Amino acid sequence: MSAVLSSIERTRAGRRFSPIALAGGLTLFMSSLGCAPGSDDIPNSSGVTTQNTTDPKEGDALPNGAISFFNSASCPKGWAPFSEGGGRIAVPTIGSDQPLIVKGTPLKDGEDRTHGHSIEAEVSLTSVSYVGAPGGGNHNVAAAQTVTILATGEKVSSGLPYVQLLTCKKLAPPLAGAAPIPHGLLMFYNGTECPEGFAQPMATQGRLMVGLPDSAPTGLSFGGNSLKSGEGREHEHEVSGALTTTSHGIALASGCCGDGYAKNGEYPYAGKAEAERVELPTVQVLQCQKM
């Protein structure tokens, strides 16, 4: 089995989560205090370390039920497509939550998912009175009242950065004599409990995993609370604007009084857009860490 360590790292409480490529382009994540070449490791000319082991197509040490992403057109020997993950973001389950719960419509090939918001606001038009009696020619003149403003925003890109990778689950048993699985490695697993030698990590539950940006501090969580089982996360925006009326002539006769008209002017308003979700398509999958 060939293993290639990437330079991208993700840490939690001082432990690095590094993508690790295994059989046939499989990508997992490894958490450790550090990685150093072993006696069987061979650095190549680019500085990347590979293990001097058997052909990865012959098998690997991962347990039956392991789920991961492959940068290839087909799953390797002993693996099969994980259909539940097609067009979806894998999110680690929380605690004993049921796995394989899906949310949202799967992304199509290269889809740029859009979203929009509706707004509703109220504006009170100020009352004004005129000296004179209302005349018969005073048609289409606005009355003092509360006006409701309704609008629907144009749907725009959500700007979601992503890469499409084949998702596969392992059907074959671990290969006897294969290189051992590194301590701290994280994998998705097709089951309700982690297999022997693995445990469910706390740091990633209900959260999307992102490669560590350059020079960024490690082990930080962002974006609020973890996603609950089957949750579609909503967001809203503050909105503001102004309603500007136009002047309209009126006919008055001498006398008193013409009142209840709306005063011409500019009427500001403020509020919040209706809560909307981006509809990120997700599938909940148990995640396990090698002990």
Q: Which two tokens stand for residue 183?
A: 């301590």
Which tens digit of pLDDT belongs to each residue from 12-66?
Answer: 333 333 344 444 445 555 443 334 333 344 334 334 333 333 344 568 999 999 9
Q: Which residue has the tokens 């002047």?
A: 247
| pLDDT for res 257 | 64
CA distance 84 to 109: 16
Which tens digit of pLDDT belongs to each residue from 225-250?
Answer: 888 887 877 778 788 888 888 887 66
Domain-wise residue ranges, the chain: 1-110+160-216+280-291, 118-152+238-272
Whole-model pTM: value is 0.64
Q: How many CB atoms lie within 10 A of CB 269?
A: 16
Evaluate whether 42 touches 144 at the Cβ level (below 8 Å). Answer: no
Task: Give every residue of the chain whose pLDDT is below 70, as ranges.
Answer: 1-58, 130-140, 218-219, 249-258, 278
First vs last C-alpha separation in the chain: 20
